[in-house]
Amino acid sequence: MKEQKKQTALYRKYRPETFKDVIGQDHVVKVIENSIKLGNISHAYLFAGSRGTGKTSVARIFARAIGTSDIDLHEMDAASNRGIDDIREIREGVNTVPFESKYKVYIIDEAHMLTKDAFNALLKTLEEPPAHVIFILATTEQEKLPETVISRCQTFTFKKPNQEILRESVSIIAKKEGFALEPDAADLIALLGDGSFRDTQGILQKVISALGGSSRDAGGKKISREEVELVTGAPRRTVVNAFIDSLAEGNLQKGITALHNAAENNIDMGIFSKLILEKLRFILLLANAPDMSKIIEARVSAEDFEYLKKLAAGNAKNLSFDALLEILKASQLIGRAFIPELPLELALMKIVGQDRSAQ
């Protein structure tokens, strides 16, 4: 039994069970809850949004909230069941009444993966479904769905949770598992999660597993940012700080060396740029919005906070709004660059004023 508990994925273990458990999707939950209370239930819903934002979890909660039992709840993954024969099975099934519920609910995940013929077959069912049937389509790529299907659904768009929400969520889960995440460790895990509850919890599980444990033997063990860096392969703070120092000092070579070290260690340049952006933002906020000091102090280690305060007080001309904008532009180009570090190299050259090609 103990072994089985260890193998349970955190995103399954802490999947929301009720509407009140759903985090960061109030704009969806409130409307759905209210419609259920008023009895205004649609025959078809479309839940759209990026991965790991809670679409299928909310679909299951919705089904339970309207009294649908497990035997009358049907789920299909369109990524692996995408053909017309799969939809024909649904078309045949909808004509039978529910076994023990008022409604039969069909959840079709990754709905955009259905074939053209499957969509055409589904459309006929969506046009005139039996009164006891409700469809919930979930997709990460709404633009791939036919407009004829979208127009027959009540659409809800799920937002990516911001870093603050992910940070709080992963800290709570770590505590329940018997671990204490240091603030900057939680911040890094949230950043690596990239707007997905599922991915963020997966990263936490990887860290916990690597550090030995289950909640029973953790004993409230603290997890530091350095440990998260080691397990995930995220850029070490020393490399990130070296790049920022190069901006502050106007030292092109120092920045190029930091980028080279990051590339040599197979560090994801997208993540590297996010960490740079985060620290540059904190520096500018400390310099221009002192009231943010307490909030920033709670987000980083004591060592990093002193580092950021020192740079904020130093009035380095290169640590400016323009510099932040250049790094932001570079981060958006990394995914399209043949050499991932090239956009950051060009931004560095422009910021420190040593782009000799313009001379």
What's the rounded Cα separation, in Å, for the pair 341 and 214?
38
Residue bearing the bigger pLDDT, 259 or 214:
259
Q: Which amino acid, residue 44?
A: A
Full-model pTM: 0.82
Decide if pLDDT at 196 tops 60. yes
162-181 pLDDT, tens per residue? Answer: 989 999 999 999 999 999 99
Enter the DSSP assignment of 357.
G
Residue bearing the bigger pLDDT, 215 or 321:
321
Which overall architecture, per CATH, does domain 25-157 show?
Answer: 3-Layer(aba) Sandwich (3.40)
The predicted structure's pLDDT at residue 354: 55
What's the rounded Cα separation, in Å, for the pair 187 and 311?
21
Mean pLDDT throughout 252-258? Answer: 94
Mean pLDDT throughout 34-50? Answer: 96
- 86-101 per-residue burial string, b: 16 or more CB within 10 A, e: under 16: bbeebeeebeeebeeb
Decide if pLDDT at 294 tops 80. yes
Burial class (CB in 10 A: 0-12, 13-18, 19+), 201: buried
Mean pLDDT throughout 319-343? Answer: 93
Residue bearing the bigger pLDDT, 7 or 348:
348
Secondary structure class of 129 (helix, strand, coil): coil
Lowest mean pLDDT among 149-158, 168-177, 183-192, 295-304: 295-304
pLDDT mean across residues, the chain? 90
CATH T-level assignment (fold) for domain 237-358: Zinc Finger, Delta Prime; domain 3 (1.20.272)
Out of 3.50.50.60, 3.40.1360.10, 3.40.50.2000, 1.10.8.60, the CATH code matching 163-232 is 1.10.8.60
What's the rounded Cα separation, in Å, for the pair 193 and 202?
8
The predicted structure's pLDDT at residue 219: 52
Q: Where are the domains of the chain?
A: 25-157, 163-232, 237-358
48-64 pLDDT, tens per residue? Answer: 999 999 999 999 999 99
pLDDT band at 220 (very low <50, low <70, confident <90, very high): low
- What percentage of the chain reaches a pLDDT higher than 90? 74
Decide if pLDDT at 217 tops 50. no
